[in-house]
Structure formats: C-alpha cells, structure tokens
Structure 1
Amino acid sequence: MPIISFLLGVLVTWLIMSGLLAQGFALLVRIWWPSASRERELKVDQWLLNNTSEPSSSWNLLGYWKDTSQYRQACSEMAGLLADKSCISSQDSVLDIGFTSHDQLRIWLDYYQVNQLTAISSEEHQIVNALEACGQFSNLKLLRGSETSLDQMPAGSIDKLLALDCVYRFKKRQVFFSHARNVIRPEGTLAFTDMVLSRPFRDRREQRLINFFGRISGVMTEDMPVKENYQNILNQQGFEQVDIMDITDDVLSGFCFWFGQHYQELSSLTRSKMWIRLTLKTWFIRWMLHRQQLKYITIVAR
C-alpha cells in the first residue's frame, strides 16, 4: 500500500506540474458546460491547421489526401470532390450548410461560378470572415444559423444543398435530412460527407465508451448511423437515388498521417494546451480506425 500511495502521489504531482490535469479539467468543463470560448477555440484550431499555409488560408476540414500531402490542397480537393459528385453548374442555386471556412465559399463562387449561393454557419466569426473575403460577390447571401435553420427557408428553393465535412457534428441527422428534402427542388441534389460506423455496437458498454470518447473529441457518435443503413435512412426521408462512396483511407488515414507530421513541426513553437482539441480528435479517429469501426463517406442523394 505505501508503494501504491507513493506512485499515485508521484502521478498526481506530475499531472499537476505538467498542466495536463488542468487542461483535462478545463476541457471537460467546456464539453459539459459550453461557453462563449468556443469561438476563440475554433479560431485557434484553424490557425494551427493552416499555420504553414498562406496567411489568407483558413480551412478547417479533414481534407482529401489522395493526390497531395499539403493541407490546403487536401481541403480544396475535398471541396472539389463534393462539387463534382453533385454536378454543380453555373445555373445552380446552391446552399452550403455548416460551412467552416470562407475558402470553400470561394470555390463555389469563383471556380464553379454558381448562380446563387446561400451559406449558413452557426459561428459569428465565420460570417464576418466570409463577408470580408467574399463580399465582392453579389450572388452570395450569408446567414447565421444551424442545420435546423432549413425549416425557415422556402420549400423547393434550392438546386443543390452541400454539407462539407460537418454532418457528423449535427445533433439529429434525420431532422436535417427531412428539412433538406423540403428545401431542395424535386429534381435537386443533396451532397455531403460524413463519418459513419462500420458496424453496430456490440453491446451497451461499447456504446457508452465510444459515445464518451466521441463527445470529448468533438465527434457526435450518439446519432452516428451504420454505413449499411444510410441508404434506408435517406429513402425514408424521400430521397430515391442514393450514391455512397467510401473514401476512408483518403480522408481519415491521410489526415491522421499529416497531422502527426504537422504537430511535430509546430509543437515546439506553440503551447501544448493549444493542441488538445485537435490531438483528441485525431486520437479518437485513430482509435476507431484501429478498431475497424469508423468509415468516412460521400453521399449524393436525389
């Protein structure tokens, strides 16, 4: 017993002196009692991810790493992949729900030259940054809101609805799909990327464990569907044609590999507590991939 008590004392002392205990406690407080600090934390994460890119870059995606090892290019490729899968054209009225960077808006507006773009974000600083970076586009409309804001939009008013690397943060996917079906024209398209489970939970214990770690890492697993069930979920909401493509290796594995190198380059130049959210998210993805329990997919539904 004296030895165990001594070792526990050493461990607690190390956790306190290293700052890990304070960081962990602060993280749990932010998870269970969210506050206005979320906006500042998101800005920090974007800065860390884009630190070696051009100053104007503010991407906050996992990226598509099939033909690149650069973060900015991987994010551009992910946006381009979704746009190409949904067949965006210059005649389309497009809605981007949950955008995380003005960079993706510039791709829809500048490269694909959509006819009209409505972009919705829940973060005020994203709206402000988008207004500064894309204010010259008269066909851009910026709104603050969430996936639930779709129920306030006119029925059948959108040709293409895009959700780029954000659906796994939505609390209720089926509510989102229901509102999306209503706002999209009958011949229109819903295109998005999402994290899904590769198999059902074995038991309640495994479910509670994964949900706990997912909540800490910022990945909402409580409502995360199994890949094989996704088509039925969308069919039930009125989407008849559903195309699903598995891009797990080119997204999740690619991001984790890049992040490990990126962290090594910058960790000595930054405070360790700045990295805690990104590190936890990456750890959770790696852990789930090791368990062969996580997939990343693109879905196009009509």
Structure 2
Amino acid sequence: MNLVLFAVVVTLVLFFWIAKRQSADPYGEFHLAFNKLPTDKVEAAPRTEWLNMGYWKDTDVFPEACEALALKLVQASGCKPGGQVLDVGHGSGESLILLLTHPSMARPSQLTGITSLAAHHQRSQARVARLDQPVPVFLHAGDAVYRPGSHGHPLDPSSEDQFDTILALDCAYHFRSRTAFLRQAYGKLRPGGCVALADICFTPGALQTRWTRWVTAVLRLMPRENMVSTDEYLAQMRGMGYTVRLEDVTSDVFPGFIRFLGTRGLGWKTFGGLMGVFAGAGARFVVVVGTKE
C-alpha cells in the first residue's frame, strides 16, 4: 500500500470512528431525533419513529422519505386485504403502524413482527397497543433468522404459521445470513405468497475490487456473506424456488439520505460522506420481490 492510499485509509477510519462516537446511542433511539420536524416543539416527542434510508424522489423531509420507502416496498409486494403479514426488522414500530393505519394499505387479517433489539420490541408493543384497530398483532423479540431454541419465532419450520407476505424494510443486508432468512421465508410462505425486501447489493464486478470490500467493511453495514451482486442476488433467490423481480432505486435513496445526513452535524456528515464513497464503489439500493409459485 503506498503512502497516499495509507493516508486516505487512516483518514477515513478516523472519520468513521468520530461518526460512530458522535452518533452512538446505547438505547437505540438516535432515530427519534431524525424524525423531529422543524415545526415540532423542542420538548415534544416526534410524531413518527422511522428508521430507514428513505425514498427521496419527491421530498427532502426524513420521515416523509422513510414512509415513501415503506409504501413502495408494500406496494411492490402486492399485499392483499385479509392476508397474514410478517414484518421483519420493524425497529420501534413505525412500519407496523403504517400497515395497520395508513389509508392506502390493505389491512391484514393478522400482523406478526420481529425485531432484534429488546428496547425496540417493547416500544413497538406499547405503540401498537395504543392504536384503536381490530387486527390481531403478535410481536417477537429476536434475530430475523430462526435458530433451534428460538421459542415462538415466526420462521420456526416446526410451527404451523404461514404467511402471505413477508416484508424486510432496509434490514436484510444485516442478517446472518440473508440467504438463510430467504430460505426460511420460502418455507413459511403460502403458494402465491411473496417476500419483499428493500435491500443493498452491488453492481456486477464491483466486489472484485479490494476498495469496495474495504469500504463495506469500514461502514460495517453487512457481513461478508451478504455482499453479492445484483445478478448473484437474483440467482440465489431463483435457486431457492422464487420467481424474482428487482428494481434499482439507488438514485432515489442514497443521494437524498446523504444530503440529509449532511445537516445532522459533523459525525453524521462524515458518515454520509462514507455512504457516498460506498455508492460510488458499486453499492446499489434495490427493491426485490420473490414470489413462491
């Protein structure tokens, strides 16, 4: 490694460390500040609790962009009225509330959710309980991927639960692993059901470069096994039995999210800069729908 490249690497690592330090939140609630609007009173809690990168095509407001990405995912899934829906990685519950209350949503007959942070699980339970709506909701705390001993896990192959739609909004690239999750999801879908993901993969060939692998490792966005190209992503799902379609929405996600982070102080601005490098290194934000025939 030459001295110039070494300096760049050290600088990026230092900036990333600063960003992580400034944005650290041991309670997993940093996103609440992101949801605050300029018109909100300082002491007031935000009206929404979104936690995704957003779909910025027609807005520059964080909660509006996040809702737009959630709506795009649900609409892509073709969610039908009266279906049984599993929302994986729902954070502190905003996507659950959208499925239960948004006027454009087809109401499920049953809604199940799972999220990995206990604090988010508890917060989601409290928020859903306050809603005046008739749909039964079952929430679980745990990893997205079922492992033996995970009592009550919605993807437990020994349970009789089945789903018409499984949603993973901006989270599946974190799973260990995404392929394990997709295989388990396939086993729990009814015929004609689908899994829909707002996810990150890479342009074909991008992962051949050390630079792309290094930037991804620095950002700590995903384990190595989830780093696949768009072509590999589609091939993996087809190999599991899915009929698949993929839409690349990178241009309506990364630039707007990076601009927003630039307004949130030095730490988040630095992280946004690294996200720009990540996109430039071949990362793609995609909406993927896999149907079980």
Which of the five TM-score ranges fits, normalised by the shorter chain? Answer: 0.7 to 0.9
Residue 132 of structure 1 aligns to which amino acid in structure 2? A
Distance 1:132 1:237, change over 3 A: same
Q: 1:50 aligns with which of 20, 27, 35?
A: 35
Q: Does 1:193 align with 2:198?
A: yes
User: Superposed, which structure 2 residues align to 1:1-302 within 5 Å?
Assistant: 24=17, 39-40=26-27, 42-44=28-30, 46-52=31-37, 55-111=46-102, 112=105, 113-135=107-129, 136=131, 137=133, 138-149=135-146, 150-152=154-156, 154=159, 157-201=162-206, 203=208, 205-206=210-211, 208-215=213-220, 218-239=221-242, 241-260=243-262, 262-263=263-264, 267=265, 276=267, 278-279=268-269, 281-291=271-281, 293-302=282-291
Structure 1 residue 86, shift from structure 2 partner: 0.9
**Structure 2 gaps, min length 5:** 1-10, 41-45, 147-153
TM-score, with length taken from structure 1: 0.76
Distance 1:222 1:189, change over 3 A: closer
Aligned partners of 1:155 and 1:185 also within 8 Å = no
User: How far apart, CA to CA, are the structure 1 residues paired with 2:53 and 2:18?
Assistant: 26
User: How far apart, CA to CA, are the structure 1 residues paired with 2:190 and 2:238?
Assistant: 16
Distance 1:27 1:237, change over 3 A: same
Structure 1 residue 151, shift from structure 2 partner: 4.1
User: How far apart, CA to CA, are the structure 1 residues paired with 2:145 and 2:49?
Assistant: 25
Q: Name the SS of the counterpart of 1:245 in structure 2.
A: strand
More displaced, 167-176 or 142-151?
142-151
User: How far apart, CA to CA, are the structure 2 residues paired with 1:168 and 1:242?
Assistant: 17
Aligned residues: 258
Q: Name the SS of the counterpart of 1:152 in structure 2.
A: coil
Aligned partners of 1:95 and 1:119 also within 8 Å = yes
Structure 1 residue 227, shift from structure 2 partner: 0.9
**Structure 1 gaps, min length 5:** 1-14, 29-36
Deviations 1:134-193 (A, max 9, x none): 114451111011221354253561110000010111121111111010011122111111
Aligned partners of 2:85 and 2:166 also within 8 Å = yes
Distance 1:125 1:90, change over 3 A: same
Distance 1:175 1:204, change over 3 A: same
Distance 1:238 1:38, change over 3 A: farther
Aligned partners of 1:155 and 1:182 also within 8 Å = no
User: How far apart, CA to CA, are the structure 2 residues paired with 1:24 and 1:70?
Assistant: 27
Q: Name the SS of the counterpart of 2:226 in structure 1.
A: coil
Q: Name the SS of the counterpart of 2:218 in structure 1.
A: helix
Aligned partners of 1:102 and 1:126 also within 8 Å = yes
Distance 1:93 1:39, change over 3 A: farther
Residue 102 of structure 1 aligns to which amino acid in structure 2? G
Distance 1:144 1:202, change over 3 A: closer
Structure 1 residue 110, shift from structure 2 partner: 1.3
Residue 48 of structure 2 aligns to which amino acid in structure 1? S
TM-score, with length taken from structure 2: 0.79
Higher alpha-carbon Rg: 1
Distance 1:89 1:38, change over 3 A: same
Residue 162 of structure 1 aligns to which amino acid in structure 2? L
Aligned partners of 1:156 and 1:182 also within 8 Å = no
Distance 1:209 1:186, change over 3 A: same
Percent of residue pairs identical: 24
User: How far apart, CA to CA, are the structure 2 residues paired with 1:280 and 1:222?
Assistant: 26
